[in-house]
Amino acid sequence: MPSIGIGGQETGIGGNPLLVYLNNAATSRKKPECVYQAMDSFMRDVGVSPYRSVDSPAMEAAGIIADARTKLACLFGVEDARQIVFGGSCTEGLNLAIKGILQPADHVVITSLEHNSVMRPLSALIQERGIAVSRAKVDSEGRTDMSDLESLLTGKTRLVVMPHASNVTGTIQPVEDCAELCRRKGVPLLVDAAQTAGCLPLDLGTVPIDMLAFSGHKGLMGPQGVGGLYIRKGVDPKPLKHGGTGSNSASEKQPGSVPDRYESGTPNTPGLAGLSAALDYIGTVTVQAIRAGIIELGNIMLDGLRGIDGVTLHGPSSMADNVGVFSFTMASRDIAEVADHLQHRHGIIARVGLQCSPAAHKAIGTFPDGTLRVSVGHHSMIEEVEYFLQKLEEM
Amino acid sequence: MAERRQCVVIFESTYDATCSARLAKNAGFEIRMLPVPRKLSSDCNMGMVIAFLDKAQVASLLEKHDVECRIVEWSPE
Ligand SMILES: Cc1ncc(COP(=O)(O)O)c(C=O)c1O
């Protein structure tokens, strides 16, 4: 394994700084080779805007985006790819859903685990539209209490929001039950799939979710700067942005047809070329196999963390309920110092603090200090997990 | 005498235009994408030229795929 280099940092093969990346919940650092190639090839060989002309490069650019849309629809079990709206991030998808659906004085029910990309749009709407927000409780492993959630629904509830899995505890949420409940009560459900798209199977053909926000750069293994929202037919949020689409150009009004209605402005075609290639890769490997790999790594992580003195794990005790995210604190240790040591001495990249989710930390009792979070992904290796566990134990 | 008239398919969305070009090509129709002639419409930048005689078949193909469009007769100048 690594040796200690000048300055006290361990070095990897060839004397390069060792980099053990355990922050996959933030973004997947390593992408399939085809992602780099697709982006490079788009930039060099195509390079034009889609929809703004009909020459062959423009049609190729348009085709790349259509492909990405179709492949993502297929991955999510969505019949009509028009229901997939692309944008710059999962945050943008969540903003579109939340701001596009909620009207003055509406009520919304959320879980206690929401990321700030849900909490902040809601806070803005509390100010601007006088909406009311209720939060369903979670148990000690970060699982939403569905009977509490149901008890919060009122005649004024216009939206329910739930993450598919928490970015703090990794806990997979009961989205199937929640979708059933929302369908029964006639309330639209928005699912935040930032942590799960590409690494946890979900079939929107059978689970009646109304809107699902996704991040293109985490489990989907595309580049940063792509994400979006699935919108079920018949659900009609107001557009978040207005502008040129290349369609209905005679009108100064936003077009009504999807996805154009929600996709103003020149799209991130290089990013979508990368996402499209990543979706090919995922299609070949399969989400089921990706999930199995993460479970294998996660079991090693869980066993290892449990065996280290002073470590308290804040999350599920079994990988059956965990997407691959592990949050912990350490008795009488400052977790920021631990993170700094791991990074500076051993090249281990983890994430410390509140992970943009103060609400979730309040719910699990780790606010305001937060936790040290390590998260594995498809490209993580058993050796990396074991190396991290060894260095943590030595501290 | 050869049929010289053509038709232009005018789409509601860019996604539909993109997919329709592929659908029609894959189904063996001779098509060409063009900026919609101004005398036909100023609605959309992306149009698809088809042979006049293919109009009904292309229409039914696109309808099968829920494509929102109009098909307009066109005689190029
Ligand atoms: C649960 C959750 N929701 C939303 C987001 C926002 O994703 P993005 O940064 O791609 O907009 C994240 C990112 O960390 C997340 O973990």
Q: What is the residue-level pLDDT of chain A in tens, covering all 395 positions? A: 444 444 455 666 556 667 999 999 999 999 999 999 999 999 999 999 998 888 889 999 999 999 999 999 999 999 999 999 999 999 999 999 999 999 999 999 999 999 999 999 999 999 999 999 999 999 989 999 999 999 999 999 999 999 999 999 999 999 999 999 999 999 999 999 999 999 999 999 999 999 999 999 999 999 999 999 999 999 999 999 999 998 888 889 999 999 999 999 999 999 999 999 999 999 999 999 999 999 999 999 999 999 999 999 999 999 999 999 999 999 989 999 999 999 999 999 999 999 999 999 999 999 999 999 999 999 999 999 999 999 999 99
Residues with C-beta less than 6 Å from any ligand 1 atom: A 26, 89-91, 115, 117, 163, 167, 192, 194-195, 215, 227
- Structural tokens at position A252: 């100064």
CB-based contact, A228 to chain B, within 8 Å: no
Three-class SS of residue A126?
helix
State which of A113, A167, A351 you would mutate to test the pocket of ligand 1, scoring each by most atoms of that ligand within 8 A of its C-beta.
Answer: A167
Q: How far is B52 from chain A (nearest CA, A)?
A: 21
Residue B67 CA, chain-centre distance (Å), reads 11
* Residue found by looking up tokens 């685990």 in the block: A113
> What is the sign of the dihedral through the CA atoms of A295, A299, A300 and A306?
positive
Answer yes or no: are the C-beta atoms of A25 and A352 closer than 8 Å.
Answer: no
- Structural tokens at position A107: 């009520």
Residue closest to A182 by CA, chosen among A209, A152, A155: A209
Q: How far apart are CA A284 and CA B51, in angstroms?
A: 39
Give the nearest chain A residue to B46 (CA atoms). A54
